[in-house]
Structure formats: structure tokens, C-alpha cells
Amino acid sequence: MVLYHGSNMIVREPEIRMTKHTKDFGWGFYTTEIRLQAEQWAYRRAAFGGEPSVSSYEYQENRDLNIKAFDGINDEWLDFIAACRAGGTHPYDIVKGPMANDEIWDHVRDYLDGRMPREVFMAYAKFKKVTQQTTFHTMRALATLHFLGGEKL
């Protein structure tokens, strides 16, 4: 399976960076199966410097890793990203599932802040375009990625 990473540079050697902002699945190396989505990430990151670039990787599954996969936006997914965005950690090497993208993030924030009931969030979310992310949270997980190449956009 080919995965893409969008950034402000070509990333030959993926790494996990702990930043001041937590993301959907916590600190990790974020990829997607959707090239267009990686391109959007690249342009967003390059707005702060560098050149928009997409790196591609061959993912070799390792069944010994602890992998969490979300099939869609559901209660479990919402609770998971709420905990991660609040700075919580998890035991998974790899996490796969939908992304709380720009179309849905404001509503996630409203839910997290207690301004939107869970039922209203779920009703709203089912009508939004679903995106995909696969995140790598340990060195063992990163070892499953093999750099194929990179392209400056």
C-alpha cells in the first residue's frame, strides 16, 4: 500500500515529533492514502516556509504491531480524538481512520467544549466528506515505511 505525507519539504526519513499542538491521533507521523489530501497538507505547511512537497512510502504491514483502525466517524472515534487532542496518549503503534478535517473540526471543538451534544455532532458528521489518515507512533511502526520518492509541488 502506498501512503503519502504532505509537508514543506521532502521527508526521506519519517520521524515522530512532539509539538505544542496535539492532533487527532496524538503525536506521530501522519500519512494518508489520498494523494490530494497530502497535497493540501503540503500547501498548508509550506505557508509557514519551505516548499510544498509530497513524499510517498510503501507500507509493509507488521502484524506484531498494536494497530487501531476506525471504520468511520463514530462514538469510539470521537472519544479517541477528544482524548488525544486534550494531550492524552494511547498504546497503539499505528492508528488509522477518518481525519477531523476543516469541514468538521469546528463541530468537534464545539463538542469538546460542551456546546454541541454528541448526537448533534454525529448527525452533522455523517453528511461531511470523509478523509483518511494513517499515523505512526513508535519507531517500530516507522520501520514499516519505505521511502519511494518525493515531489515538490
Mean pLDDT by 10 residues, the chain (153 residues): 97 89 88 96 94 98 97 90 88 93 72 86 74 95 98 97
Residue 19: domain span: 2-152
| Domains identified in the chain, total number | 1
Question: Can you give the pLDDT at residue 17?
Answer: 82
Question: Can you give the pLDDT at residue 103?
Answer: 67
Question: Can you give the pLDDT at residue 60?
Answer: 97
The full DSSP string for the chain is -EEEEEESS--SS------SS--TT-SSEEEBS-HHHHHHHHHHHHTTSS--EEEEEEE---TTS-EEE--SS-HHHHHHHHHHHTT---S-SEEEE----HHHHHHHHHHHTTSS-HHHHHHHHTTSPP--EEEE-SHHHHTTEEEEEEEE-
Question: Can you give the pLDDT at residue 40?
Answer: 93
